Amino acid sequence: MKAAVFHAPNQPLTIENVEIENPGPREVLVRTAVAGLCHSDLHFMEGKYPFPVPAVLGHESAGIVEKVGRDVTYLKPGDHVISCLSVFCGHCEYCLTGHMSICQTPEVKIPPGKAKRLRWKGEHLNQFTNLSSFAEQMLVHEHALVKITPDMPMDLAALIGCGVITGYGAIVHTAKIEPGSTVAIVGCGGIGLAAVNGAKIAGATRIIAVDKDPGKLELAKTFGATDGVLATDEAAKEIIEMTQGGVHYSFECIGLKQTAELCFAMLRPGGTATIIGMIPFGTKIELHGADFLRERRIQGSMMGSNRFRIDMPRLIEFYQQGRLPLQHLVSGRLKLEQINEGFAAMKAGGVARNVIMFDA
């Protein structure tokens, strides 16, 4: 099969012929239909997070089941599926208490460099987040997949696998916002737009989108934003004045020190800031200690604290009902050979989501 191989930070991915194993017990071989280009992949490509190389990146995808291994009961060949990196075991303390997205069981969440599912030139090729979707096929644990209705467009279904579930889940699961809340979303890429839409679905009355790109602020209104604020040094002050004291909830959707601090600065007393973006490894954020005396809180979110086998079919229903405008998230549809161009466009800005179409 063809795959985009990551060799080292700040080097282009190369398209290579890669070997993939047959499914073992509880494993599923998927023919990849679509893979989204996510900012998280770019973090690894730029060396902001370490990962063993060579590797096949990619983690936001949809496809069709080709083969299943022994003991697989949930899926069969021909099923349409969305993948999710928050693969769960179903029996650990995290899973049994409803926190499946932070399951750490090594039998399903194989540590980086340990999975033996891919080979390149006869040597071990590292699998990324137990998925590696920048390839024509994926071999994954069955608990990394959710079965979906076959009439769901694959290019839109793939977006649900990371960006949409992460943004939506941070609103409804991690922060659990109340109807009538005031909410600010900092960063209006794929995750941020999904968070904006999640806030609308959850009943927020004022949803303030914050971005440095005026075009993205306009796009955010399509997803439910009531206001747009340019990301300047005065953004926190402007939002506090707009809301007469600050927002109940803020969400950081980029992964930067400055925007994390901005999210905390715009809170009203008792407010909560949720950090969704991947802040570069080793980066520290600075907060004023006195602000905690007013019961302001800051917390993280892993993949939107999702229960993806429940959440993803619901998100598809929202799309089919016209409540989740996924079609506006896709900025471009590319071939695998154009993957480096897609990431260059992401770095240049102005892109919600580019997707790789494997049948293009």
Residue 351 has pLDDT above 90, yes or no: no
Q: Residue 261 is which amino acid?
A: E
Residue 289 has pLDDT above 90, yes or no: no
Lowest-confidence segment of 60-69, 260-269, 279-288 by average pLDDT? 279-288
- pLDDT, tens digit, for every residue of 80-127? 999 999 999 999 999 999 999 999 999 999 999 999 999 999 999 999
Confidence of residue 288 (pLDDT cuts 50, 70, 90): confident
- pLDDT, tens digit, for every residue of 206-255? 999 999 999 999 999 999 999 999 999 999 999 999 999 999 999 999 99
pLDDT at 15: 98
Q: d(Cα 301, Cα 23) in Å, to the nearest integer?
A: 32
Region 16-35 average pLDDT: 98
Q: d(Cα 13, Cα 98) in Å, to the nearest integer?
A: 37
Structure tokens at 159: 């977006």
Cβ pair 180, 154 in contact under 8 A: no
H helices within 88-138, ranges in order? 93-96
Region 126-138 average pLDDT: 98
Region 266-275 average pLDDT: 98
Domains and CATH numbers, the chain: 2-148+329-357 (3.90.180.10), 168-302 (3.40.50.720)
Residue 343 has pLDDT above 80, yes or no: yes
Kindly list the strands in the beta sheet with 206-211, ordered across the sheet, starting from the edge strand earlier in the chain: 227-230, 206-211, 182-186, 247-252, 267-275, 297-300
Strands 227-230 vs 206-211: parallel, antiparallel or unpaired: parallel
Residue 257 has pLDDT above 80, yes or no: yes
Strands 61-68 vs 80-83: parallel, antiparallel or unpaired: antiparallel
Residue 355 has pLDDT above 70, yes or no: yes
**Which of 129, 122, 94 shows the shortest CA–CA distance to 108?**
129
Average pLDDT of every residue of the chain: 96
Q: What share of the chain has pLDDT > 90, as a percent? A: 95
pLDDT at 360: 57
| Count of beta carbons in the 10 Å neighbourhood of residue 143 | 25
